[in-house]
A and B are shown apart, each in its own frame.
Chain A
Amino acid sequence: MNDELEALLRGHYRSAADHITAGPGTVRRFQDAGRAARRTGRGRWRWAFPALAAAVTAAVLVTIALFLWPGGGTPAKPRPMAPPASVPVPATRTPAPTSPPRPSASPTRIPAPGIPQRRSGADPTPRPTGARDPRTLPPTHGGAMPSPSSSAMGPVAKGPRATSSPAGGY
C-alpha cells in the first residue's frame, strides 16, 4: 500500500512537472531580480565606510576642540581678581621705580600683561584689571560710577597681603 502510494505520488509529480516550464522571459526576470538585489546589497554598504570615517573625524575634532578651548579640559589657572600688589595702593605707598625687579614668590605679584606700567608722576590710582576704563563707559542715570566687581575687593584684599610681602615690609 505504501509503495503504491509512493509510486503514485512520484508519477503524479512527474507528469505535472512536464507541463510546468520556466520560459525565457521568466528566467530573464529572475536574473534581473538577482542582479538588482546584488546591486542593492552593495549600495547599502557603499556609504557605510565614508559615513563611519566622517563620524570618527567629527568626534576627534570635537574632542580636540574641547581640550584646546580656553577653560576647557584642564581647570583654569587662578587669575588675580585685583591688580597686583606691586601696583601701589593709593595714599599708602608709592611704587619704588628704582627698586630692581625681584622675582615674586606669589603669582599675584606678577603684573598682568594688560596693565600698563606706571611711571612716576602718573596717576597712582589702581584700576581693576577686569574693569573697563570709566571714561569709556556710558553715563548712567544715577550719575554714579559703575563699580566693577573686582575693584571693590581689590585694594581691601590687597592691603594686608601687600604688607606681608617681602618686597614691601621686609
Chain B
Amino acid sequence: MSAQEIRGAEITFDEFVTATAGRLLRTAVFLVYDRHLAEDLLQTAYERVARKWKRVSGGNPEAYARRVLVNLAIDENKRRARRRDTPVGSVADVERLAGPPPAAGVAGGDLDEVLRALPAKQRAVVVLRYWCDLEEKQIAETLGISRGTVKSHTARAMAALREHMKEGRA
C-alpha cells in the first residue's frame, strides 16, 4: 500500500480524495467495524487535511490523513469503551462484506470478533501492520508511540489471536 501512496505536490485536494477514499475507508472500517462511523471519521480526517492542505500537500498527505484517521478511531473506540456503548454496525457488516472465511479452521466472523475485542491501540497496530503494510517505525510515527510500544502491542494482539486459533482448532 505504501507504494501506492500518492504524493500531494502536484495534485489538488479533490484528486487526492478521489485517489485515497477507497483505501482510507477500508482502513477506517477495519478500525471501528462500523461503516457509517468509518465514513464520518474519514470525513473528519479529510476536513482536517483540507484545512492544512497547503502545508501537507508538499509531503505525504495520505500518511497525514491516515494518522488523523487512526487517532480519531482510537479516540472513538476509547470513548465507546468508557460508555460501554455498542456500535450501530455489527460484526455481521464486515462479515457480510468479507464474504466467505479466508482460511479453513477459523471463521472470518470469529476472527473479526477477536479483532474487535482487542484494545483500540492493539487493533490499530494490527490494521496498520497487516492491512496497510507499514513497518514498525511508520506505525510508531502514525500512532505517536515508541517502537517498543508498537512491538508490545503487536505481541499482545498476536497472542490473543493465537489463543483464538488454538480454540478454533480444538
- A residues sitting closer than 8 Å to B (CB atoms) are 1-2, 5-22, 26-27, 29-31, 33-38, 41
Contact = CB atoms under 8 A, between A and B. Distances in A.
Contacts of A21: 22, 25
Contact of A29 (B43, B98, B127): B43
Given A20-B25, A29-B43, A31-B13, 15 more contacts: A1-B162, A2-B158, A7-B103, A8-B103, A9-B111, A9-B130, A12-B98, A15-B100, A19-B96, A21-B22, A21-B25, A27-B21, A30-B43, A34-B17, A36-B47
Nearest to A6: B130
B76 interface: no
A20 B89 CA distance: 14
Contact of A8 (B22, B94, B97, B106): B106
Nearest to A27: B21
Interface of B: 13-14, 17-18, 21-22, 25-26, 29-30, 35, 39, 42-43, 46-51, 53, 94, 96-100, 102-103, 106, 108, 111, 126-127, 130-131, 158, 161-162, 165
Contacts of A11: 102-103
Given A17-B131, A22-B22, A26-B39, A34 B98 contact: no
Contacts of A38: 13, 50-51, 53
A9 B161 contact: yes
A153 to B, nearest CB: 73
Contacts of B158: 2, 5
Nearest to A9: B130
Given A9-B161, A13-B130, A20 B97 contact: yes
Contact of B25 (A15, A26, A33, A36): A26
Given A8-B111, A19-B99, A33 B130 contact: no
B26 A17 contact: yes
Contacts of B48: 37
A8 B114 CA distance: 13
Nearest to B30: A13
Contacts of A2: 158, 162
A5 B114 CA distance: 13
Given A12-B98, A22-B22, A35-B50, A27 B17 contact: yes
A15 B26 contact: no
B132 to A, nearest CB: 9
B19 to A, nearest CB: 10
17 contacts: A8-B103, A9-B126, A9-B130, A13-B30, A15-B102, A16-B29, A18-B99, A19-B98, A20-B26, A22-B22, A26-B39, A27-B18, A29-B39, A30-B43, A30-B46, A33-B50, A36-B47
A2 B161 CA distance: 10
A2 to B, nearest CB: 7
